[in-house]
Amino acid sequence: MLMAFSACFLLILLQLFSALFLSVAQEQSGFISLGCGSPRGKSFRERDTNITYISDADFINTGVARSIIQDYRKEYQQQTWNLRSFPEGTRNCYTLNLTIGDKYLIRASFLHGGYDEKPSTQFELHLGPNLWSTVSTTNETNAKVFEMIHLLTSDRLQVCLVKTGDSTPFISVLELRKLVNTTYLTQQGSLQLVVRADAGATTDKVYRYGKDVFDRVWAPYNFGKWSQISTNQTVNVNNDYQPPEVAMVTASVPTDPDQPMNISLPGEDRTVRFYVVMQFAEIQELSSNETREFNIMYNDRHIYGPFRPLNYTTTSVYTPFELAADANGLYIFSLQRTGNSTLPPILNAMEVYSISLLPQQETDRIQVDAVMNINSGYELNKIDWQGDPCAPRDYRWSGVNCSYIDNEQPKIISLNLSSSGLTGEISEFISDLTDLEVLDLSNNTLTGSVPEFLANMETLKIINLSGNELNGSIPATLLDKARRGSISLSIEGNTGLCSSSASCATTGKKKKNAVIAPVAASLVSLFLIGAGVVTFLNFKRKKRSKLGLNPNPDTGTTPLHSRSHHGFESPVIAKNRKLTYMDVLKMTNNFERVLGRGGFGVVYYGVLNNEPVAVKMLTESTALGYKQFKAEVELLLRVHHKDLTCLVGYCEEGDKMSLIYEFMANGDLKEHLTGKRGPSILTWEGRLRIAAESAQGLEYLHNGCKPQIVHRDIKTTNILLNEKFQAKLADFGLSRSFPLGTETHVSTVVAGTPGYLDPEYYRTNWLTEKSDVFSFGVVLLELVTNQPVIDMKRERSHIGEWVGLMLSRGDINSIVDPKLQGDFDPNTIWKVVETAMTCLNPSSSRRPTMTQVVMDLKECLTMEMARNMGSRMTDSTNDSSVEMSMNFTTELNPGAR
């Protein structure tokens, strides 16, 4: 009998948000969980799901943090207790740096909770430049959840709240869950969730993380003409979709065994297209004369079968094409038993997604980076400079004009920053706007010279630099273009500008001759003062040379505390993080407690703003120390990732230099492997999690940073563990960055730690990201074996050679750390060792990327987690799989407590 989808759809909507309150603990690799409006730097583990949520403050620089009223905190989970509202600006955007080509489940939740007096709201939710959905709430508890599955087409993801009327946009929770790329495939567009149903549920519970490794929200979905069956046996769910076992141990069958199972999708608009995933497993013991076989039909058209579900093993069946409505606007699935079948069809679980095309293309990435760098460099803080600069056209940035050609990315053709309070020199990032036709920087207080790159920008037609304080000669090429009329150049009001070096010299001579007598009389005293200053500076320069504080010969950079000839501090300085030496003395209680010592200097325990910190002091006699100090500050001020140590602040006061980090309560990985911190408590699952987290941090340096960063000193002592044993990469003093593209390597002075050092890099001096991959392979072998990297007593001294020798003898058990006491899945041991040995390939071109390493480790972690949860996960047949996704709106009801 045909079962109308809409009859049960409301039930799903009412229960989906309740899933936010039901789960048990799992690891959270590939998760980003933002509690919007939570205090900066604070994190918490939600008690029902055990998901760790962090503040959203590092992902958005606008909005106001607010809280729901106290009474609702008893009914809703902690991540919804705060929210961020956006009373100012039309479009406000979260920016997340991810990896292009990864696939994510993206979920946004909205609970008003009485934070202000206007609970009835309506505004838009955008994914990048495209409309995702309209958010509409009618009262304080009429909250919404929207979910999309999206393949990243760039390494930057923006989620935007857009004001469309009088309502103030707000958001409570933003969550990203990384999926397996072979799942939820589409011919076009992204997927918005319609429903995710446990079709055989025997309870009314809604569940998510803890039951589902990807934190998908599942709701019970029982049809009136269907009956439920269940099993106490374990059901294998080990395929790419990994449906939760709790859904697979139950199923529905038609109450009348002679009837088909009919499912009608919600097709109000016949233009909507769907993808569907169905999960099947045989959960009844069939006798020899029993058979369950059926076909899957769609709108009376055969799409799959005949199909026999596997015994206690999951098969995911997907629609390989978009599902369109028939002539009557219907979308009907039917599971129909074949003539060979003695049993009716069965359905364990099902997901339905609609296609969201997301037609708006993002602006060219290089140009977006350019205007964002211009924005930050000049500290413009324009309220409407949020999201994509050109798209959608209605929300184009003020002062920015773009070209729009069908099927092409928008390009920036005009930049007007007139009267914008610009100071300093003309930004070199303007040269990255390669389609720019009009540049207006008039009526600011720009200083310095007119840069040569303006003459080399082929598309530039109009340049207005009038009303500034520019000086020096105008580039001859630019003057020539202006004389020939190929460019319009306005420079009025810049009294220090001249048309050539000769005219600049003449102007200077006239000014010199115009000096009046009283000033000339004072030159003698000025000369004496100047001579004293020069003598003092020479003395300081010699002293700094002895301390190794000269410009870095490797990078050509100047010391951190140097100033440009215009008197501005070096761009590396971030005043809000710079502390005084007195601050350092106070936070460390006069260097009372030593945490550790290294080549850089001593690390002390400190307390800053009531939070523990680690204070790393530069040893004054360390010649290389200043270079490392400068490199580390520069890097950590511009990169942010949950698996990299966070720089809280730094001090540079004469020869007193220190770096202040977040405190990592459990020290470094090496200490735990060697037992320095007492008996090892690192299980194999814990080691896999540490490996996956540190690999993610390294992958971010390689792929998420522009320019790319190579760490150069990956080792177990540079992997730190916080109080929750979350791993973070540390010590970036040797790191180097260089652009990707045709230049895939740079020549540097070889640096690193013996045993971890890439032999190809050591031999050639050519540095690539694959040098880090080699070092990380050594770390993986340490995690498996807990053996020294170099041991002259072994048959092969280097750990990689020794493991290779053991493997050649087929003896993997002899290399596994005895402290694990056999508590591991041997398959994951083999997989990690295989990955490690590939990382150690002598040829860097044959080593995997960190993206590949991360995927391997996550696969191993998932298997080990499943084993520890009591699920025997073995290979299963994945005949095919459905992909789908759609934005779903759901009522947010209080969760059971």
Which tens digits make up the pLDDT trace of 338-367? 999 999 999 999 999 999 999 999 999 899
Taking only the tens place, the pLDDT of each residue in 479-500 is 998 888 889 999 999 988 986 5
Mean pLDDT of 821-836: 89
Asked if the 669-848 domain carries CATH number 1.10.510.10, the reply is: yes
Does residue 580 carry a pLDDT above 50? yes
> Residues 429-449: what's their mean pLDDT?
95
State yes or no: pLDDT of 738 exceeds 70.
no
What's the pLDDT at 338? 95
Residues 310, 301: Cα–Cα separation, whole Å = 24
Please give the residue that has the higher pLDDT: either 201 or 10. 201
**If you average pLDDT over residues 166-188, what whole number do you get?**
93
Look up residue 536 and give its DSSP letter.
H
Question: Which whole number is the average pLDDT over 606-635?
Answer: 72
pLDDT mean over 144-171? 94
Residues 547-557 have a mean pLDDT of: 35
Mean pLDDT within 635-650: 80
Q: Are strands 746-747 and 766-767 parallel, antiparallel or unpaired?
A: antiparallel
pLDDT of residue 730: 85
Q: Peptide bond before 257: cis, by omega within 30 degrees of 0? A: no
**Among 68, 43, 70, 45, CA closest to 55:** 43
Q: Which of 38-47, 59-68, 638-647 has the lowest mean pLDDT?
A: 638-647
pLDDT of 795 reads: 85
CA distances from 886 to 146, 195, 507 (A): 8, 9, 68
Nearest to 695 by CA among 159, 265, 271, 99: 99
Pairing of strands 91-97, 462-464: unpaired
| Orientation of helix 769-785 relative to helix 684-699, angle to 10° | 170
Read off the pLDDT of each residue in 169-175 and give the average, rounded to a whole number.
Answer: 97
- Structure-model confidence comparison of residues 677 and 259, the more confident one: 259
* pLDDT tens readout for residues 85-109: 999 999 999 999 999 899 999 999 9
d(CA 321, CA 497): 65
Among 134-143, 199-208, 307-316, 865-874, the range scoring the smallest mean pLDDT is 865-874
Q: Where in the chain is the domain with CATH 1.10.510.10?
A: 669-848
Predicted confidence (pLDDT) at residue 544 exceeds the cutoff of 60? no
Contact status, residue 197 vs residue 250, Cβ threshold 8 Å: no
**Residue 760 banded pLDDT, cuts 50, 70, 90:** confident
Q: How much is the average pLDDT of 525-541?
A: 40
Per DSSP, 169 falls in state: P
Homologous superfamily (CATH) of 575-662 is: Phosphorylase Kinase; domain 1 (3.30.200.20)
Do the Cβ atoms of 881 and 183 come closer than 8 Å?
A: yes
Among the listed residues 474, 472, 423, 471, the one whose alpha carbon sits nearest the alpha carbon of residue 444: 423
Topology (CATH) of 193-356: Jelly Rolls (2.60.120)
Fold that domain 365-508 belongs to in CATH: 3.80.10
Tokens of 892: 């947010």
Cα distances (angstroms) measured from residue 248 to each of 236, 286, 345, 350: 9, 17, 15, 11
> Is 529 a residue whose pLDDT tops 80?
no
Report the chain's mean pLDDT, rounded to a whole number.
81
Q: Which residues contact 4 (CB under 8 A, 6 or more apart)?
A: 264
Q: CATH 3.40.50.970: does it fit domain 8-181?
A: no
Q: Is the CB of residue 336 less than 8 Å from the CB of residue 344?
A: no
pLDDT in tens, 115-155: 999 999 999 999 999 999 999 999 999 889 999 999 998 88
Please tell me the predicted confidence (pLDDT) of residue 500. Answer: 56
The proportion of the chain whose per-residue pLDDT surpasses 90, expressed as a percent, equals 52
pLDDT at 620: 55
For the entire predicted model, the pTM comes to 0.57
Checking if the pLDDT of 437 tops 90, the result is yes
Is the four-CA dihedral 631, 633, 638, 640 of positive or negative sign?
positive
Structure confidence at residue 734 (pLDDT): 67
> What pLDDT sits at residue 746?
56
Q: Where in the chain is the domain with CATH 3.80.10.10?
A: 365-508
pLDDT at 598: 65
The answer to whether 896 and 75 have CB atoms below 8 angstroms apart is no
Considering the candidates 48, 215, 713, 825, report the single residue annotated as catalytic: 713
| CA nearest neighbour of 415 among 404, 405, 400 | 400
Question: Tokens 């990896």 appear where?
Answer: 99
In sequence order, the 6+-apart residues with CB closer than 8 A to the CB of 462 are 437, 438, 439, 440, 487, 488
Q: From residue 151, give the alpha-carbon distance in Å to each of 146, 155, 158, 421.
A: 17, 11, 13, 40
User: How would you class 3 by CB atoms within 10 Å of its CB: exposed for 0-12, middle for 13-18, buried for 19 or more?
Assistant: middle
Q: Where in the chain is the domain with CATH 2.60.120.430?
A: 8-181
The answer, yes or no, to whether residue 519 has pLDDT greater than 50, is no
pLDDT, residue 656, reads 84
Task: Give the pLDDT mean for 312-336.
Answer: 88
- Please, which pLDDT band fits residue 576 given cuts at 50, 70 and 90? low
177 vs 216: CA distance, rounded Å: 9
Residue 863's pLDDT is 85
Which two three-digit tokens encode residue 41? Answer: 């730097």
Q: Is the pLDDT of residue 44 over 90?
A: yes
**Predicted confidence (pLDDT) per residue in 269-296, tens digit:** 778 889 999 999 999 999 999 999 999 9
Do the annotations mark residue 656 as ligand-binding?
no
Expressed in angstroms, the distance from the first to the final Cα of the chain is 38
Residue 702: alpha-carbon gap to chain centroid: 13
- Report d(CA 219, CA 22) in Å as an integer: 11
CA 237/CA 316 separation, integer angstroms: 9
Name the residue among 826, 820, 832, 876 with its Cα closest to residue 858: 832
Count of other CB atoms within 10 angstroms of residue 724: 10
Please give the pLDDT value at position 534. 41
Q: Which of 389-393, 498-502, 788-792, 807-811 has the lowest mean pLDDT?
A: 498-502
Q: Are 102 and 180 in contact (CB under 8 A)?
A: no
713 is an active site residue? yes
Highest mean pLDDT out of 20-29, 63-72, 506-515, 663-672: 63-72
- pLDDT given for residue 619 in this prediction: 66
Helix/strand/coil percent split, the chain, to 5: 25, 25, 45
